[in-house]
Amino acid sequence: MLILGALALALAGTLPEVDKPLKTGARNSEDAAVVIGIEDYIFVADVPYATRDAQAVYDFLIYTRGVPSSQVRLLNGGASRELILEAVTKAGKQVSQNGVVWVYFAGHGAADPSTGDRILLGDDVRNDPVAFASRALTVDELLSFGGAGGGRVHLLVDACYSGLGRSGEAVLAGKRFAVPNYAVQGSRHLLWSASSGDQLSGPLEAVQHGAFTYTMLGALRGWADGELDGVRDGRVTAEEAQLYVSSALRSLQITGQQPELVVEGDVVM
């Protein structure tokens, strides 16, 4: 792909733009979205560029995807467990079976030490290995509440579940989390995570974004069109996007980060 070739030349020049909104004129009034970017955690390490990530995804959903701005919620500071669940629940009720509830999260993740569940940490999570999970949300909660109205949930997560921050530091000092091998189950929802197992979800300093978010946005803007068979048809499927992002990360010399896609069927993004 031409754009992938541009990424391969990252060290020799400027990477392609994703922050300036690509205005397509599309309208997807049956969709709703919650975009969460937690950069400034109160009690644990911050997540560099999470605010920029969330803003770029917010702009993509409104200007490129065509989700009405009145149906897109952007959460940065104060994004606690309760506020996130309230926003996702509201979005889920707005969307029927013909629409998509987009939920994007950039921040810290972990595996619950008691249950092994994948959890995403609210901004007030405590630096306490016993109590911290009470200020988090499980991936399953977000899928359940987001899909309550019958819509398909697209949950995009730029976080890892090993308890490491973007710079490789432990979210809880001296604590790593055992990440189970999660069973891949059939679902009408889509879950796309920045990394697999106990891998790190790192930043791409050249563009001041999470590496997954940057390549994911590029893929959904059309860079992944034709990635599977070389034939461009004006749309991007989840499988094309996953293949593109995986290849782009390798091209950018980001090793040890393999995105994980769980989806049933050929889903157009």
The model carries a pTM of 0.92
Domain 2-12+27-257: CATH architecture, name and number where available: 3-Layer(aba) Sandwich (3.40)
Domain ranges of the chain: 2-12+27-257
Per-residue pLDDT of the chain (269 residues; tens, 9 = 90+): 445 544 544 444 589 999 999 999 999 999 999 999 999 999 988 999 999 999 999 999 999 999 999 999 999 989 999 999 999 999 999 998 899 999 999 999 988 878 888 899 999 998 887 778 899 999 999 999 999 999 999 999 999 887 777 766 777 665 555 555 554 455 789 999 998 877 888 999 999 999 999 999 999 999 999 998 889 999 999 999 999 999 999 999 998 899 999 998 889 99
Sign of torsion, CA 143 145 150 155? Answer: negative
Phi and psi angles of residue 252, each rounded to the nearest 5 degrees, phi first: -85, 5
